[in-house]
Structure 1
Amino acid sequence: MSKENTAIREVIASRLRMARESAGLSQGQVAKRLKMHRPTISEIEAGRRRVSGEEIVAFGEAYGVDANWITEGSGDTSEGTDKIMLAARQLSKLNDKDLDRLLGLLQMLRGSEVSNEPE
Structure 2
Amino acid sequence: MSQAGYSALRFNEGVVMRYYNDAPTHGNCTWGIGALAHFGPCTQAELARAVLPEQANAVLQSRVRDAELAVKAVVTQHELTQAQFDAAVSFAYNSSRQNTVEALTPANTGNMRPLRRK
**So what's the TM-score if we normalise by structure 1?**
0.31
State the structure with more CA Rg: 1
The structure with more strand, counted as a fraction of residues:
2
The structure with more helix, counted as a fraction of residues:
1
**So what's the TM-score if we normalise by structure 2?**
0.31
